[in-house]
């Protein structure tokens, strides 16, 4: 949020500054006869140059991964996609201001004849007009396909149109080659970039600084392409209740920390598409795993390719709701607890995959606080799968660093949605020597019938394990009361009752991880 505020302040500074400089420049007296329209277009133009450079910065994922620990106070590295969108909104606004002002400029140039040109000539025959309209067309395609609805229904449209940004940036870098801002009616052009005589052309020459984020981004994409081509193999595919697929991938060169995410590509489905998924394995696991829910075109195609089509998902979900194991013999797989492992001997050849990453996420900071509050909803709990698995390894090796208590809260629809995560929680819960270290709270939000509720109550009475989750922790129904949860936690910490050996006078650091957001408080 702070980074966006800085961007807005700089935009509000650039606009009047350049407008004023344009108005007071005696060499541009002819152009200044157009008055407000040219002043507005010039001020908005510099803001656009700034936004055009800034919009690529949040997409420098490897750079962000390096600077995040030290520069998060200056740049919202944890909300880089959000920041990218805010810059895009600013870009759209100032593009409308700049374009509207230039339309007025071109009409006034023809009307006053300060230059022997018509508005149509400037619009469609000069570099400034051609590149400007070209960029507007690309913006129209990118912005319309970037809406949430289109991204979810047709990710391919979003993916491919966003790659038109390459041509948008080329247009941005060459937009001033027409030399509209000049002190003579007919400037002399040259054969070298930027193709005009800088003695008479008095534009910003903004390409000299806007091009560097583009160079960095192009270099990073080349590096990511090289890194993604290193040896990678899909070794196992597990199918969990509700149709969540777990892909286990072998890539010896891939190093990561808990809570990070990666891009995955399946060339048989698309040679160009890369899709982001959270890593659910721990660094000490001999594989890299991701859990994928079938909700879009790519994931449905991947499910079909792996033999996990809609019929298989429906059968497993129905079996999970009845509390029985799925019939695995029909799938050529073997049952293993709450999931089905595809039998590679009878299944078709597994597809080749490529992975790129890892990339940072705020959840990786969990081991740097004394009390971690982890909150996930549905499949959004995946970052904490990696964290909890790594926590299990760390406990066995007695290296939890400063972490002393963990509050894990998961909100999901029903029991089948929980199935894929059950094994991880059971392992972590069983490894606890201190019953107060990990507190698990699971909330099922789907309404249950009276008969089902009665059966749960009867089976839970006096039982060591919860009948739904098979954990020692009891299940809650409905949505959590956040005010009560955080209020109870704060009172316990401030009262010195929460952490053994701590007093109310000692400061306790609490990290709250909510899917992709991490906040740190001190009490």
- CA–CA separation, 453 vs 449, rounded Å? 6
- CA–CA separation, 436 vs 400, rounded Å? 15
Percent of the chain, pLDDT > 70?
A: 65
Q: Is the pLDDT of residue 173 over 60?
A: yes
- CA–CA separation, 252 vs 286, rounded Å? 9
- 55 or 514: which leads in pLDDT: 55
Task: Tell me the range of 318-332, 365-379, 459-473 where mean pLDDT is highest.
Answer: 365-379
**67 near 359, Cβ under 8 Å?**
no
- 73 or 305: which leads in pLDDT: 305
SS3 content of the chain, % helix, strand, coil (to 5): 50, 15, 35
pLDDT grade, residue 417 (50/70/90)? low
Q: Where are the beta strands (DSSP E) in 295-426?
A: 334-336, 339-341, 354-359, 371-377, 405-412
Q: Is the pLDDT of residue 142 over 90?
A: yes
Given the DSSP bridges, would you call strands 405-412 and 438-444 parallel, antiparallel or unpaired?
parallel
Look at residue 206 in the predicted model and tell me its pLDDT. 75
Task: Tell me the range of 106-110, 178-182, 344-348, 503-507 where mean pLDDT is highest.
Answer: 106-110
- 53 or 79: which leads in pLDDT: 53
Q: How many residues does the chain have?
A: 523
Tokens standing for 514? 């909510």
Residue-averaged pLDDT of the chain: 75
Neighbours of 378 (CB within 10 A): 15
Output the CA–CA distances (angstroms, integers) from residue 373 to 72, 87, 110, 482, 506, in the order listed.
Answer: 21, 31, 65, 12, 19
Look at residue 326 in the predicted model and tell me its pLDDT. 38
pLDDT grade, residue 335 (50/70/90)? very low
Percent of the chain, pLDDT > 90?
A: 13
- 126 or 497: which leads in pLDDT: 126
- 384 or 431: which leads in pLDDT: 384
- 374 or 180: which leads in pLDDT: 374
- 184 or 410: which leads in pLDDT: 410
Look at residue 219 in the predicted model and tell me its pLDDT. 92
- CA–CA separation, 364 vs 260, rounded Å? 7
Look at residue 521 in the predicted model and tell me its pLDDT. 40
Instruction: Please state the rounded mean pLDDT for residues 301-312.
Output: 79
Output the CA–CA distances (angstroms, integers) from residue 352 to 233, 236, 271, 304, 387, in the order listed.
Answer: 7, 12, 11, 15, 27
| CA neighbor of 491 nearest in space, from 515, 464, 510, 513 | 510
The region of weakest confidence among 34-38, 140-144, 480-484 is 34-38
Go through 72-92 and write b for each residue having 16 or more CB atoms within 10 A of its CB, e for each that does not: beebbbbbbeebeebbbebbe
**389 near 282, Cβ under 8 Å?**
yes
Cα-flanking dihedrals φ and ψ of residue 458, to 5°?
-65, -45
pLDDT grade, residue 450 (50/70/90)? low
């Amino acid at each position: 949020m702070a980074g966006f505020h800085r961007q807005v302040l700089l935009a509000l500074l650039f606009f009047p500054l350049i407008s004023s400089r344009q108005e007071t420049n005696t060499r541009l007296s002819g152009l200044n006869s157009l008055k407000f329209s040219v002043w507005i277009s010039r001020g908005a133009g510099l803001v656009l140059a700034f936004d055009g450079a800034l919009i690529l910065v949040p997409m420098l994922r490897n750079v962000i991964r390096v600077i995040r620990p030290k520069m998060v106070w200056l740049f919202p590295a944890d909300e880089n996609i959000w920041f990218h969108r805010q810059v895009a909104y600013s870009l759209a606004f100032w593009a409308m201001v700049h374009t509207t002002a230039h339309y007025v400029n071109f009409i006034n140039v023809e009307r006053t004849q300060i230059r022997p040109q018509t508005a149509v000539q400037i619009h469609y025959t000069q570099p400034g007009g051609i590149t400007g309209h070209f960029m507007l067309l690309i913006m129209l395609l990118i912005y319309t396909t970037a809406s949430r609805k289109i991204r979810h229904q047709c990710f391919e449209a979003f993916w491919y149109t966003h790659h038109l940004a390459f041509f948008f940036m080329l247009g941005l870098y060459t937009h001033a080659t027409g030399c509209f801002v000049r002190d003579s009616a007919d400037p002399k052009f040259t054969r070298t970039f930027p193709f005009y005589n800088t003695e008479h052309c008095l534009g910003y020459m903004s390409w000299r600084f806007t091009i560097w984020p583009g160079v960095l981004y192009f270099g990073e994409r080349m590096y990511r392409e090289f890194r993604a081509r290193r040896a990678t193999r899909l070794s196992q595919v597990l199918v969990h209740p509700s149709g969540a697929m777990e892909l286990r991938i072998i890539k010896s060169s891939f190093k990561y920390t808990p809570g990070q995410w990666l891009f995955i590509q399946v060339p048989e489905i698309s040679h160009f598409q890369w899709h982001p998924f959270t890593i659910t394995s721990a660094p000490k696991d001999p594989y890299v795993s991701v859990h994928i829910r079938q909700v879009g075109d790519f994931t449905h195609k991947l499910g079909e390719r792996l033999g996990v089509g809609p019929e298989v998902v429906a059968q497993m979900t129905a079996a999970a709701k009845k509390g029985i194991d799925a019939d695995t013999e029909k799938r050529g797989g073997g049952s293993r607890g709450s999931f089905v492992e595809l039998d590679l001997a009878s299944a078709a050849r597994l597809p080749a995959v490529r992975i790129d990453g890892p990339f940072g996420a705020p959840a990786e900071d969990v081991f740097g606080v004394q009390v971690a509050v982890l909150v996930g909803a549905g499949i959004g709990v995946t970052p904490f799968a990696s964290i909890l698995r790594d926590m299990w390894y760390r406990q066995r090796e007695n290296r939890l660093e400063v972490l002393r208590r963990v509050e894990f809260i998961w909100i999901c629809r029903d029991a089948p949605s929980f199935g894929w995560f059950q094994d991880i929680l059971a392992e972590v819960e069983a490894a606890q020597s201190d019953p107060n270290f990990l507190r698990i709270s699971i909330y099922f939000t789907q309404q249950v019938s009276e008969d089902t509720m009665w059966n749960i109550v009867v089976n839970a009475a006096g039982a060591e394990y919860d009948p739904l989750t098979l954990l020692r922790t009891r299940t809650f129904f409905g949505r959590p009361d956040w005010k009560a949860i955080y209020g109870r936690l704060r009172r316990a910490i401030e009262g010195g009752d929460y952490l053994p050996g701590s007093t109310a006078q000692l400061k306790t650091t609490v990290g709250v991880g909510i899917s992709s957001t991490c906040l740190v408080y001190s009490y």
